[in-house]
A and B are shown apart, each in its own frame.
Chain A
Amino acid sequence: MISFPIAGIPLVPSYIDPGTGSLVIQVLIASLVGGLFMLKVYWRKVKAFILRRKGKDDK
Chain B
Amino acid sequence: MISSSFRDPSGYVFKKEGVIYRKVSGSYKNTLTRVMECGLYQDLVDSSLMLPFKAIDEDTIMPEQLAFISYPFEWCFSQLKDAALVTLGIAKRTLSYGMILKDASAYNIQFHEGKPMLIDHLSFEVYQEGEPWIAYKQFCEHFLAPLALASYKDVRLQRLLGVFIGGIPLDLASSLLPFWTNLNLHLLLHIKAHSASQKHYEDKPLVKKKISRVSLLGVLDSLESCVKKLSWKSKGVWADYYSEDSGYIRHKEKLVDSFLDKINPKVVWDIGANTGLFSSIAGRKGIQVISFDSDPACVEKSYLSKSNPNILPLVLDLTNPSPGTGWGNAERMSLRERKGADTVFALALIHHLAISNNLPLGMIAGFLKDICHTLIIEFVPKGDPKVQKLLSTRKDVFPNYTQGAFEEEFDKFFAIKEGVKVEGSDRTLYLMEGA
Contacts and interface: CB of A to CB of B under 8 A. Distances in A.
A29 B135 CA distance: 15
B128 A8 contact: no
A10 B206 CA distance: 12
Contact of A8 (B140, B210, B218, B219): B210
B7 interface: yes
A34 B8 CA distance: 31
**Interface size class, chain A:** 35 or more
Contacts, number: 140
A55 interface: no
Given A7-B208, A19-B137, A25 B219 contact: no
B217 A9 contact: no
A1 to B, nearest CB: 5
Contacts of B134: 11-12, 14, 16, 18
B94 to A, nearest CB: 12
Majority SS at the chain A contact face: helix
Interface stretch (B172-180, B193-201, B415-423): B193-201
B132 A25 contact: no
B206 A7 contact: yes
Contacts of B102: 12, 14, 16
Contact of B103 (A10, A16, A35): A16
Interface in B102-134: 102-103, 125-128, 130-134
B214 A22 contact: no
21 contacts: A1-B128, A7-B207, A8-B210, A9-B208, A10-B128, A14-B135, A15-B8, A16-B102, A16-B135, A16-B137, A20-B206, A21-B194, A21-B198, A22-B136, A24-B208, A26-B133, A26-B211, A28-B197, A34-B212, A37-B217, A37-B222
Interface of B: 7-10, 100, 102-103, 125-128, 130-138, 140, 189-190, 193-194, 197-202, 204-212, 214-219, 221-222
Interface of A: 1, 3, 6-38, 40
